[in-house]
């Protein structure tokens, strides 16, 4: 039997041999796409190509993408675990053509892989095509030996793919397999018929071949694209189940080790458990995979956005665990099993093992407290309703217990029955549907394709903006194009020394001089692969000449460079003092300060902070030259370089090496030697989330100013207290004790005076 690892490798190798570039999976937490809570398809990292605002140095790509889907068609969170073929986390195998091959090759290769490499029975396979896609309908019988009667026609709902409400879109052709009548889970329903694109488990979709050939505008009209693309996606768990000839995804080697471990912890085997307990097994097994990958890639449980999704999923797993009599935190103990199964394909989960386990354990403990609080809220609610003579718990209240305190509806129902009450389940369902609609709306986005109406083009624009700011702060350049927008100018230059905001480093400030007029650059952003300068001008300009001078403000850039290099030194020092579990979880680098978020589970002791600070300053005093290496992502990782949270890496990466102390992938600007930083001072350390700490620090002149200010305060206090600086602390403690003693004496004296006047009060009453 083929293992899941072999199947993944065979898919990737099949397309690599046909000229495709293997592209590693992007994180499941998108760092540069505010329209997505989670990466939900293999095409997400190539969206800029489909939108026409980005390019790649290759025309063909293949990968296995980590995906999370927690809402939408067939992916309702509350249904996961009740069937055996939908998941919150899954892998999507995919191959892409960017304006290269099209329908013929995509169909032929898909059939070849399925039937000749994996030897799936041809008589069990079906294809579907879009009703207007005559080309695909004709190609299936021509380039494969699939008979025309097993090529089915469907409408827009099933066979037309769209990125968003507007933007690139096109017909798709799906490949389905008939698993046989034994896989139908709807046989008990009168009138049910098994069919392709039906609603049972007999016919399942294996592979979706999307042919992107249109752009839908805001009016809903379709326009032919100048270049056509192929975007395919195959559910990895499903194909593994088919090739391993097992009844469901949960019977594959992707899940069975997790189910076995749950069984050990619960003292009951999955196959021997009751039906509702098997649902609990599946829920927990599915959810621990999602949690492991989401937390690894930077998400954390919270009360909003993707953090709220994580919290709901973790609590859902913990609720179902109670069906297995598992009441104490245990889900975190399943993380090593997930790593054992998938760590070779996705080594990042192995690197962040301790962090993931600690976050889940902490959240489990907090949920137990929340559940106890929910029981208290339930008791108070019931008491109030009974006092009012009501016997039905309103749907809104039942939903609040579910949404806020993690109570599933069946738990509320059971507890209500114990009180001789019932639940308004229809009202609960209405509230649940409102939440689903909010989730659907949050997941929508509008994608505009490759045109901005108000751009004024002066000279031909290269595909990519050329950044020269690593070596120069000033450049004679040309304006490719510009646009006016809300009183500011947006300008794209042929080459620029201005750094666009990225990877936690703020954008450069400065000026662009055009025709003796200075435009103040207040922000710089990337749009696709273009660097757009947002400028203020003293007057309305009519730009007709392309020539310009771009000048970065050194008073802005230099301290920013000090702080950025200092974050690399800080990261390395944290790992040396606190341990290798420390990973960057976010950063902000400005001219004023640096902010560094990292994984750690408890408050850092003062002596540890001092040691970290000393290590960084020692590296600064060494005045070590920085080495910059350009290489492939894979070779950079072999060199021991760490990838930073929030950074987007291309085919070629930039590695910042500081002797044998620090090696990190980074596209930001840095000093030439560590000595330029001057000095490093930690200002604050705090907790910002479960398992996440934050350090704020300053460098260079700002650190000197801070030290001088504190020196002056200390000297002034010494003069007020008439003691040398080293005795200020003990002197203040002595004064505070004197104040406390004086307050105690005053209270005693006042009490005595009041007692002495009691007789006078009585006589005068």
* Four-point Cα dihedral 393, 395, 401, 403, nearest 10: 180
Are 84 and 95 in contact, with CB atoms under 8 Å apart? no
Radius of gyration of the CA atoms of the chain, in A: 32
Higher pLDDT, 538 or 593: 593
Q: What is the mean pLDDT of residues 103-128?
A: 96
Q: How far is CA 316 from CA 66, 72, 250, 291, 302, in A?
A: 21, 18, 18, 12, 15
Per-residue pLDDT at 206 exceeds 50: yes
pLDDT at 71: 55
Pairing mode, if any, of strands 21-22 and 60-68?
parallel
Count of positions (residues) in the chain = 765
Per-residue pLDDT at 671 exceeds 90: yes
Q: How confident is the model at residue 648 (pLDDT cuts 50, 70, 90)?
A: low
- Distance CA(657)–CA(668), nearest Å, equals 13
For the stretch 609-632, pLDDT in tens is 999 999 999 999 999 999 999 998
Q: What is the mean pLDDT of residues 550-577?
A: 96
- Distance CA(506)–CA(488), nearest Å, equals 19
Percent over 70 (pLDDT), the chain = 95
Per-residue pLDDT at 690 exceeds 80: no
Query: What are the structure tokens assigned to 720, written together?
Result: 């007020």
Q: How confident is the model at residue 235 (pLDDT cuts 50, 70, 90)?
A: very high
pLDDT at 320: 86
pLDDT at 448: 45
Are 104 and 137 in contact, with CB atoms under 8 Å apart? no
Per-residue pLDDT at 333 exceeds 90: yes
Per-residue pLDDT at 492 exceeds 50: yes
pLDDT at 450: 39
Higher pLDDT, 306 or 667: 667
Are 89 and 38 in contact, with CB atoms under 8 Å apart? no
**What does pLDDT average to over the chain?**
88
Which of 118-132, 471-485, 560-574 has the least mean pLDDT? 471-485
- Distance CA(144)–CA(480), nearest Å, equals 48
Q: How confident is the model at residue 649 (pLDDT cuts 50, 70, 90)?
A: low
pLDDT at 73: 45
Q: What is the mean pLDDT of residues 577-586?
A: 86
pLDDT at 72: 46
CB atoms within 10 A of CB 416: 20
- Distance CA(352)–CA(294), nearest Å, equals 11
Per-residue pLDDT at 225 exceeds 90: no
Which of 40-44, 256-260, 340-344, 510-514 has the least mean pLDDT? 40-44
Which of 253-257, 300-304, 317-321, 761-765 has the least mean pLDDT? 761-765
For the stretch 5-34, pLDDT in tens is 999 999 999 999 999 999 989 899 886 666
For the stretch 420-446, pLDDT in tens is 899 999 999 888 888 777 666 655 544
pLDDT at 352: 86
Percent over 90 (pLDDT), the chain = 53
Q: What is the mean pLDDT of residues 473-499?
A: 90
Closest listed residue to residue 360, CA positions, set 290, 259, 265:
290
Q: Angle 353-387/275-296 helices, nearest 10 degrees?
A: 130
| Region at 486 (left for phi over 0; alpha for psi -120 to 50; beta for the rest) | left
pLDDT at 442: 54
Higher pLDDT, 617 or 299: 617
Are 139 and 103 in contact, with CB atoms under 8 Å apart? yes
For the stretch 300-309, pLDDT in tens is 888 777 888 8
For the stretch 142-155, pLDDT in tens is 999 999 999 999 99
Per-residue pLDDT at 752 exceeds 80: no
Closest listed residue to residue 109, CA positions, set 148, 60, 152:
60
Q: How confident is the model at residue 756 (pLDDT cuts 50, 70, 90)?
A: confident
- Distance CA(668)–CA(76), nearest Å, equals 40
- Distance CA(727)–CA(711), nearest Å, equals 14
What burial class does residue 754 get, using C-beta atoms within 10 Å of its C-beta: 0-12 exposed, 13-18 middle, 19+ buried? exposed
Per-residue pLDDT at 159 exceeds 90: yes
pLDDT at 589: 95
Which of 482-491, 507-516, 711-720 has the least mean pLDDT? 482-491
**Residue the block writes with tokens 């039942």:** 398
For the stretch 341-389, pLDDT in tens is 999 999 989 988 988 998 899 889 888 877 777 778 888 999 999 988 9
Q: What is the mean pLDDT of residues 741-760?
A: 81
Pairing mode, if any, of strands 466-467 and 422-423?
unpaired
- Distance CA(556)–CA(498), nearest Å, equals 11
Q: How confident is the model at residue 75 (pLDDT cuts 50, 70, 90)?
A: very low
Per-residue pLDDT at 271 exceeds 70: yes
């Amino acid at each position: 039997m083929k293992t899941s690892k072999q199947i993944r490798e065979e898919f990737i190798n099949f397309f690599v041999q046909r000229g495709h570039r293997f592209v590693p999976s992007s994180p499941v937490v998108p760092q540069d796409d505010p329209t997505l809570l989670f990466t939900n398809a293999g095409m997400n990292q190539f969206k800029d190509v489909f939108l026409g605002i980005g390019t790649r140095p290759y025309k063909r790509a293949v990968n296995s993408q980590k995906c999370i889907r927690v809402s939408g068609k067939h992916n309702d969170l509350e249904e996961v675990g009740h069937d055996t073929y939908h998941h919150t986390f899954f892998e999507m195998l995919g191959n892409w053509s960017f304006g290269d091959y099209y329908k013929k090759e995509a169909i032929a290769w898909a059939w070849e892989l399925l039937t000749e490499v994996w030897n799936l029975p041809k008589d069990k396979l079906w294809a579907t095509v879009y009703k207007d896609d005559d080309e695909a309908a004709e190609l299936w019988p021509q380039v494969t030996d699939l008979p025309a009667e097993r090529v089915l026609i469907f409408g827009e709902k099933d066979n037309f793919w769209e990125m968003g409400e507007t933007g690139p879109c096109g017909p798709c052709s799906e490949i389905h397999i008939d698993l046989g009548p034994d896989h139908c889970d709807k046989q008990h329903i009168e009138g049910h018929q098994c069919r392709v694109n039906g609603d049972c488990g007999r016919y399942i979709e294996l592979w979706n071949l999307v042919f992107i050939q249109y752009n839908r505008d805001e009016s809903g009209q379709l326009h032919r694209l100048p270049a056509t693309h192929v975007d395919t996606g195959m559910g990895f768990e499903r194909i593994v189940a088919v090739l391993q000839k097992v009844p469901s995804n949960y019977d594959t080697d992707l899940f069975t080790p997790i189910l076995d471990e749950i069984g050990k912890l619960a003292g009951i085997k999955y196959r021997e458990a009751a039906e509702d307990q098997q649902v609990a097994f599946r829920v927990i097994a599915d959810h621990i995979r999602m949690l492991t990958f989401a937390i690894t890639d930077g998400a954390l449980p919270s009360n909003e956005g993707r953090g709220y999704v994580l919290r709901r999923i973790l609590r859902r797993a913990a609720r179902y665990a109670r069906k297995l009599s598992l009441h104490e935190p245990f889900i975190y103990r399943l993380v090593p099993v997930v790593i054992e199964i998938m760590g070779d394909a996705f080594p990042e989960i192995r690197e962040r093992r301790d962090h993931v386990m600690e976050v889940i354990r902490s959240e489990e403990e907090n949920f137990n407290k929340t559940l106890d609080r929910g029981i208290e809220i339930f008791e108070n609610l019931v008491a109030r309703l009974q006092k009012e003579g009501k016997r039905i718990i309103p749907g809104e209240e039942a939903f609040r217990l579910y949404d806020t305190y993690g109570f599933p509806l069946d738990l509320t129902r059971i507890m209500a029955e114990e009180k001789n009450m019932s639940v308004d389940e229809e009202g609960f369902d209405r509230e649940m549907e409102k939440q689903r609609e909010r989730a659907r709306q949050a997941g929508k986005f509008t994608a505009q394709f490759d045109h901005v109406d108000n751009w004024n083009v002066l000279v031909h624009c290269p595909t990519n903006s050329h950044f020269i700011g690593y070596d120069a702060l000033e450049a004679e350049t040309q304006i490719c194009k510009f646009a006016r927008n809300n009183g500011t100018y947006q300008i794209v230059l042929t080459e620029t020394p201005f750094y666009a905001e990225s990877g936690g480093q703020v954008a450069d400030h400065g000026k662009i001089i055009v025709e003796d007029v200075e435009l103040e650059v207040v922000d710089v952003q990337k749009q696709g692969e273009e660097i757009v300068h947002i400028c203020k001008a003293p007057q309305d300009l009519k730009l007709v000449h392309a020539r310009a001078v771009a000048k970065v403000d050194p008073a802005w850039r230099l301290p920013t460079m000090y702080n950025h290099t200092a974050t690399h030194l800080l990261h390395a020092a944290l790992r040396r003092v606190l341990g290798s579990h420390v990973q960057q979880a976010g950063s902000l680098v400005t001219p004023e300060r640096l902010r560094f978020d990292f994984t750690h589970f408890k408050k850092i002791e003062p002596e540890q902070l001092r040691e970290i600070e000393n290590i960084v300053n020692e590296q600064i005093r060494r005045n070590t030259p920085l080495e910059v290496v350009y290489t492939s992502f894979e070779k950079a990782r072999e060199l021991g370089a760490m990838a930073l949270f929030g950074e987007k890496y291309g085919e070629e990466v930039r590695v910042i090496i500081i002797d044998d102390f620090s090696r990190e992938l980074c596209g930001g600007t840095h000093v030439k030697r560590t000595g330029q930083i001057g000095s490093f001072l930690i200002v604050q350390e705090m907790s910002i989330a479960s398992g996440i700490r934050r350090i704020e620090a300053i460098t260079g002149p700002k650190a000197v100013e801070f030290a001088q200010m504190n020196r002056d305060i200390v000297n002034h206090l010494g003069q007020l207290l008439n003691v040398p600086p080293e005795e200020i602390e003990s002197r203040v403690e002595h004064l505070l004790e004197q104040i406390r003693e004086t307050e105690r004496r005053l209270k005693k004296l006042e009490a005595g005076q009041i007692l002495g006047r009691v007789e006078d009060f009585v006589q005068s009453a």
